[in-house]
Structure 1
Amino acid sequence: MQVGGVNNSSGSDYSRITGLATGMDTDGMVNKMIAGDNARLDQMKQNRQIIQWQQEAYIDVIKDLKEFYNGYLDILAPAETNLMASISYSGLKAESSDSSKINAIAFGGAVRGNYAVKVNKLASSAKKQNDVALNAETNLSTKLADIKDQDGNNLNIANGTMEFKVNGKTFTVNVDSTKSISDFLNDIRNTKLSSDSKETLGNYINASFSELTRKFTFETKDTGSSQTLSISGTAAENLKINGDFTGENAQASIKPPGEETYFESKEFEKNTFTIDNVQYDISGAKVGDEVNINIKPDATDKVEKFKKFIDKYNSLIEKIKTKVDEKKEYKFKPLTEAQKKDMSEDEIKNWEEKAKKGMLSRESNLSSLLANLRQTFYSAVEGAGLSAQEIGIETTSNWRDGGKLKLDEDKFKQALETKGDQVQKLFTQSSTNQDEKGILQRFKDTFDNYIGSEGVLVKKAGYKDTRWLGSNDLSKKIEERNKSIKEMENKIYQKQERYYKMFAMLERNMNNLNSQSNWLYSQLGTA
């Protein structure tokens, strides 16, 4: 027999059936004698279940908060939701006369009008291809020792080493002439800076061979005049790839709106660069190409982006506030195993839905979270020159909403189109001074305080990928309850065993009395 989850492992058997000698219902009497203890055990299990439900409720809130943070407040959030990126505050649209050559993005604060852009230089990597023309039969499977020029002369590539120096870091590559070109390139990519280093040459350069052009290409992964590449060694000399090489910077001449002449830009290390709040991408152009860019007001898509943000924010606020305001249904306690046996699955489900209500009722941490978020939109941001109310974002007038936001779309659209740079400051301005931090920067601080790696909610209930997963406050309480339940189960088992021993002894004594009585009657009967 098993009581309270504790197995009877003593091997004892006290004939737990109706007493044959006494006529007593032994099992029934023992169960009545330990009924109070079993009731206390059920209550302990119910209390444990409540804590488990509380933990689940907390984790559900943490999950929602993290999804909101990752979608809107993380700098690496998807472009369609990211509100930390500058482009989210541009009320301007840039149209190129030839987007296949030059594209542009206008950020808040850019001057509207027509621009003319002429490409003077393109940014390039430090790059080298073999000068010697190779035999038409050369392919990735050709062994290094068999490489020939187009006239059939063997290049005599022998075993040895090649040295690649990239931006001051030197990598020594072992050359095995019996290997194929494909294996040779892999050896180059996998060569480590040193035996105990994790840095490989492939982290810094691209190494390839084209079977179409029959050319080796070695180039730095980054572009710009700061990129340097030096290749040396006998094999490099035979392939005509030895020497020192440097990348190039990009440069353009730009005629902004209202000007009659071009202004030469400074040099940039990449083909995407920003000047006067306009980002240019000239990577599709050739030197000498000229394209017109027209920048005009159009914040329609940005307004839609903020509408989605506010809708998501309001849903989050409503869910948290509902949990905080939800009243607990005290008459619906967690079901015991005995109660579940007499109920259908639907009945159990409906009961537990009611029993789970109010798990986070009046939870102080969630209440303070709501208050902090609400205050964020009321507090001024020094240096921004604007307030949320001035650009059409306010909290609703009903205090019962818990700080939900409402958006005046026309007012917000106008603000983005006329002073997008100030709107950006209002939301994203960084500072060590709390009064100068933008609204979303303060949001990030608040979220970190509650759901960061050391956040109060994470410490309370735990969360995956944190050190609090198993050592949070509620998990500790559950573990304490588990210990108490185990002790109670052992206590009930010991008490039950003691009672059965008592009844077993009573049965034996009664059997002895019955035997004696039968003997006496038999003796009297023969007298």
Structure 2
Amino acid sequence: MTVRITGLSSGMDVDAMVKTLMKAEQGKKDKLVQQQTSLQWKQEAYRDVSTSLVDFRQNKMSNYNLNSILTAKKADVTGNTSAVSVTSTDSTFKGNLSVTVNALAQAAVNVYDTKTPPAASTDPALGELFGGTYVPGVNASDAIKLTVNGKDFNFTKGDTISSVISKINADKSANATVMYAGGKLSVSNNNTGDFSSVQKNATLSVDGASQTATSTIAGSDAKYTVNGLAMTSSTNNVTVNGANMQLKSVSGSGGASVISSSVDTDKIVNAIKSFITDYNAILDQVNGKLKEAVYRKYQPLTQEEEDAMSDKQVELWESKAKSGLLSNDSTLSSMISSMRSMMVTGFDDGKGNKISLQSIGITTGQWTDYGKLVIGDEKKLREAIEANPDGVAKLFTATGADPKNPTSTDSGIFSKINTTVLTALQSLSTNAGTSVYSADKNSSFIVNSSVGEQLRSIAKKITDQDAYLKRKEDQYYAQFSAMETAMNKYSSQSMAFSNYS
């Protein structure tokens, strides 16, 4: 360890002189730290874009790419509108359906008589309705078992009927709904239909003794005809040719219900609008980074510079220093160029049928919009959907042989976007260590990347520079110490000669 003598003989401020000498040496380390900080900021900027691209591709595009969204159908019911309603349709629903309801599906219901409860009791105890003799306050704790649809429930005679019903109705395994009113207990199955004994019956027993129902409704299937074909169902919710229908009442003299299919233009237009909004948001973010101003005079602050500034000054300085870190980035520029190309390339089904965004009223706006999509003529878009719904859907969702080529005419826009964005994500991952699959803006960086290698190299140089600075500082102090020792020796000799004379 170097012994530091600080100007005892010379009277010089050795610490200040060493600090001044070290300042020139420190500049080399400061430049390395600035390079390190700039690279870290750049890596974080890449991650910010990358996570947005992952979210766009995995969470948004995956939904738009579902064929059912852009081939949505809706149904209109005419004729007997009280007998049948349509709850939803899918892309397979076409043509007209004539539906006549002959019988609705019915759940089994049994009603049982109970003992007459005390007149003043609005919520009688179970023992007052079943189970032999019941004396309130004496045998209220006696056990009593109800069995509903084969499911055992254990109670006491003092349990109120409301608490008993709540417990049974909450138990899914009993598959029953129990009600009580006016001395009668109703047990109904939760399923309709007549395909099993569970559906056909709604049974009740007390302490193993089966109860005799005073009135019974047997479980039965729905019976209906569609376009002359007789059909049955255990429920009143049925699906025929892609149309999900609810049978609401027997047709009777009201006649048939006629269900006709049509393109759900509103739903398709809204889906396209939603896609355009998400697509434009990505373009805004990436183009913003590519065209961000670069302020080369603003480098990351050294610790000394930062200490000399206020928090607001540091914030303003760093905003300038971080600006333009991804300016003209080749990976992002290539991705945007490909996406812009695919938006002006149409779809060709190989049979002479061609369609493009421009032909359905969607344009790329002004040049200052940098490729953002605009619905310039919504009426034209709606007319195109109604006239050629399959063609519009394929323009977006077709999966061709060459989705990597943005000008491919056999692949849909969604397929080409997904491929192009994935290529960009993979490139960003290789370069900056960002994740191809994570949308977490705090996710860790992959170690083996170009930026990661650069950061490791700079970190080693900083470590080496720290060691060098330590050696250099010790050297300066050693030199001043030697000077002080020599001056002290000379001073002693001078005093000796002076005394001798």
Normalising by the residue count of structure 2, what TM-score does the alignment of the two structures yield?
Answer: 0.67
Which residue in the other structure is 1:392 paired with? 360
Q: 1:359 aligns with which of 312, 320, 325?
A: 325
Residues 1:299 and 2:276 are matched in the alignment: no
Equivalent pair of 1:117/1:252 in contact (CA under 8 Å)? yes
Q: 1:426 to 1:185 in 2, by over 3 A?
A: farther
Q: Matched residues, percent identical?
A: 24
Q: 1:471 aligns with which of 424, 446, 464?
A: 446
Report the Cα distance in structure 1 between the residues aligned to 2:473 and 2:485, rounded to whole angstroms: 18
Q: 1:413 aligns with which of 373, 377, 382?
A: 382
Equivalent pair of 2:222/2:236 in contact (CA under 8 Å)? yes
Deviation, 1:147, is 7.3
Which residue in the other structure is 1:6 paired with? none
Which residue in the other structure is 1:444 paired with? 418
Q: 1:428 aligns with which of 387, 390, 397?
A: 397
Residues 1:309 and 2:309 are matched in the alignment: no
Q: Number of matched residues?
A: 458
Q: 1:216 to 1:148 in 2, by over 3 A?
A: farther
Equivalent pair of 1:116/1:292 in contact (CA under 8 Å)? yes
Residues 1:517 and 2:494 are matched in the alignment: yes
SS of corresponding position for 1:57: helix
Q: 1:339 to 1:207 in 2, by over 3 A?
A: farther
CA RMSD across the alignment: 5.4
Which residue in the other structure is 2:246 paired with? 282
Greater Cα shift, 405-414 or 210-219? 210-219
Q: 1:311 to 1:133 in 2, by over 3 A?
A: same
SS of corresponding position for 1:360: coil
Report the Cα distance in structure 2 between the residues aligned to 1:273 and 1:49, rounded to whole angstroms: 63
Equivalent pair of 2:339/2:417 in contact (CA under 8 Å)? yes
Q: Which amino acid aligns with 2:246?
A: I
Equivalent pair of 2:346/2:354 in contact (CA under 8 Å)? no
SS of corresponding position for 1:282: strand
Q: 2:44 aligns with which of 42, 56, 68?
A: 56
Normalising by the residue count of structure 1, what TM-score does the alignment of the two structures yield?
Answer: 0.65
Report the Cα distance in structure 2 between the residues aligned to 1:227 and 1:43, rounded to whole angstroms: 82
Residues 1:330 and 2:296 are matched in the alignment: yes
Deviation, 1:120, is 4.9
Greater Cα shift, 28-37 or 180-189? 180-189
Q: Which amino acid aligns with 2:468?
A: K
SS of corresponding position for 2:355: coil
Equivalent pair of 1:206/1:218 in contact (CA under 8 Å)? yes
Greater Cα shift, 433-442 or 209-218? 209-218
Q: Deviations over 1:215-246 (max 9, x none)?
A: 677757xx9999997999x99976789xxxx9
1:17-96 maps to which residues of 2 (within 5 A)? Answer: 19-69=7-57, 72-75=60-63, 84=66, 86-90=68-72, 94=76
Which residue in the other structure is 1:79 paired with? none
Q: Which amino acid aligns with 1:50?
A: S
Q: Which amino acid aligns with 1:443?
A: I
Q: Which amino acid aligns with 1:74?
A: S
Q: 1:268 to 1:74 in 2, by over 3 A?
A: farther
Q: Which amino acid aligns with 2:418?
A: K
Gaps of 5+ in 2: 118-122, 135-141, 213-217, 404-408
Q: Deviations over 1:311-346 (max 9, x none)?
A: 442342243134234463322222222222333444
Report the Cα distance in structure 1 between the residues aligned to 2:81 and 2:468, rounded to whole angstroms: 84
Report the Cα distance in structure 2 between the residues aligned to 1:50 and 1:134, rounded to whole angstroms: 83
Q: 1:272 to 1:175 in 2, by over 3 A?
A: closer
SS of corresponding position for 2:347: coil
Q: 1:465 to 1:355 in 2, by over 3 A?
A: closer
1:376-387 maps to which residues of 2 (within 5 A)? Answer: 376-377=342-343, 378=345, 380=347, 382=349, 385-387=353-355
Which residue in the other structure is 1:167 paired with? none
Report the Cα distance in structure 1 between the residues aligned to 2:197 and 2:331, rounded to whole angstroms: 55
Which residue in the other structure is 1:102 paired with? 85
Deviation, 1:42, is 1.2
Deviation, 1:471, is 2.3
Equivalent pair of 1:89/1:416 in contact (CA under 8 Å)? no
Q: Which amino acid aligns with 1:102?
A: S
Equivalent pair of 1:61/1:320 in contact (CA under 8 Å)? yes
Equivalent pair of 1:123/1:269 in contact (CA under 8 Å)? yes
Greater Cα shift, 206-215 or 58-67? 206-215
Which has more radius of gyration? 2
Deviation, 1:413, is 0.8
Q: 2:308 aligns with which of 318, 342, 352?
A: 342
SS of corresponding position for 2:34: helix
